[in-house]
Amino acid sequence: MQFNAIQIAQIIEGVVEGNDAVQVNSFGKIEEAKEDQISFLANPKYEEFLYSTNAGIIIINNNQILKQPIKNTIIRVDDAYTAFATLLDKYQQLQIALLNGVEEPSFISETATIGENVFIGAFAYLGKNVKIGNNVKIYPGVYLGNNVDVGENSILHPGVKIYFDCIIGKNVIIHAGTVIGSDGFGFAPLADGTFKKVPQIGNVIIENNVEIGANTTIDRATIGSTIIKDGVKLDNLIQIAHNVEVGSNTVIAAQTGISGSTKIGKNVMIGGQTGTAGHIQIADGTKINGKSGISKSIKKPNTSVSGNPAFEFTGYMRSQSIVKNLPALEKRVQELEKLIEKLINSK
């Protein structure tokens, strides 16, 4: 798709300097961009490339001072980074909008309900009573079990698997390989040392405007629902166990594991490789550093914690400083012990 500088300026509310008829058809980094690409400058570290780039159009901040003439067309905006992100989003939306219709082979149950402007890729499977809202895009290899409901404008990338009875809200993006609604890890120990499986008969509810990264797993509830609330952003390779609730606008980084029945508040930030024990609560606004181990509830809102087991961040940093100095402290203790021994022996 071709776009000229005037069209782009209208989208990002910018002002064109230079040839407003120049056209571009893709995006490029400022140090590598070609004449048919658009780029941007937001970080001063890359300013040198402003004068050497081949990009056809460059988005820059209004307060950017040009230290020498440049041949490229410029679009000035209040915030170049945000403007470029807006442009990327618009471009992606246009690309997705082109997807329409049903590819073959695919299986769609006679009892499934399909909205308007829906794309269903090859080798997709839609079970009994599945409901698909308007403008949903289902990429190849997606599996939707019986009674799954997918809200409008949602995108299911290749290989997503959603088990029976699960509910996906509006404007949800689920990336490749993610599994929603697999059984929770429920086994009852028996007297002979074996384990009896506890049936997992609940479901998973994903609310609106959620994005879930690739190869993440969200287990169905034993009874009731595992719930991911509005605006949650999950990274790749996350495990969320049965009956967990994740509050609105919470973000969780990769390789984190949330154990069963844990309740996470809203606007929580959880770093990568964090482990959370089951049946605990994490208060609204909590910030958890990566590789932390959360063994008990965090009840005070807006708390920052770190470590394993995790505790208040300021205390954690002090303890790390002490640990770093332990060799020197050990040496001083040894010297003091020798001095005391000499004093005792001299009497």
With CA atoms as reference, report the closest residue to 292 among 333, 327, 252, 322.
Answer: 252
Q: Which region holds residue 97: left if phi is over 0, alpha if psi is between -120 and 50, else beta?
A: alpha
Whose tokens are 């920052």? That residue is 304
Amino acid at 222: T
Residue 212 tokens read as 């879930």
Cis ω on the peptide bond leading into residue 309 (within 30° of 0)?
A: yes
Whether the Cβ atoms of residue 133 and residue 150 lie closer than 8 Å to each other: yes
Distance separating alpha carbons of residues 93 and 88, to the nearest angstrom: 9
Residue 63 tokens read as 């307060």
Whether the Cβ atoms of residue 264 and residue 258 lie closer than 8 Å to each other: yes
Whether the Cβ atoms of residue 272 and residue 287 lie closer than 8 Å to each other: no
Do you know the residue count of the chain? 347
Whether the Cβ atoms of residue 108 and residue 90 lie closer than 8 Å to each other: no
Give yes or no: 242 in active site.
yes
Q: What is the largest CA-CA distance in the chain?
A: 100
Distance separating alpha carbons of residues 49 and 203, to the nearest angstrom: 52
Whose tokens are 């989208």? That residue is 11
Across-strand partners of 270?
Answer: 252, 288
Amino acid at 246: V
Element (H, E) at 326: helix 326-346
Of residues 157, 175, 242, 279, which has the active-site annotation? 242
Q: What is the DSSP letter of 298?
A: B
Enzyme catalytic residues:
242
